[in-house]
Structure 1
Amino acid sequence: MPVSTLAVRPDTPPPTPAAESVVSLAASAAAILALHTVDEQGMCTQCRTAYAHLTPHPCSQHAWAQRVNQSVPAPETLQLLGLPCS
């Protein structure tokens, strides 16, 4: 009679490459939000400095970073799921 084996599963799944890319995407969004700030005339400081564009704030990069920031789970949620968070 064959002996059955019990498969032991870990409590949390190992991190996936997709989860790591979410964390790096969140870090990129945070860096963009830190750089693309409003100046006293209501223009984006990074767009003016780096690209010589007079772009009203929020610029398209800032708007993208805000959307990413709102869609990425909080670090507590990632930790609860056993995913890496930085």
Structure 2
Amino acid sequence: MIPQLVTIRHRRPDGRCRRRFVPVLPVLLLISPLLLLAVPVALVACLVTRVNPVAALWGVGQVLGALPGTRIEIAQGDKTLLVSVR
């Protein structure tokens, strides 16, 4: 299952926290024309590097399937950034 929602939380040095919710499906619909251009480029890249395109597509699907539940937290000094994929 592909991720449905990405939550980005950013804590600024003054202590205030900003939270952004990014729904994945509308973003995919917006960038779908770019994805249509990327598919032939990826296919040519697979053929040039002698990688099986079906295996590459399967690997991308496995990575996307593993994304839900991922949390990435970065802290530096008094600033923090948390990215959560649901």
TM-score by length of 2: 0.26
**Greater fraction strand:** 2
TM-score by length of 1: 0.26
Say which structure, 1 or 2, has more relative contact order (CA 8 Å, 6+ apart).
2
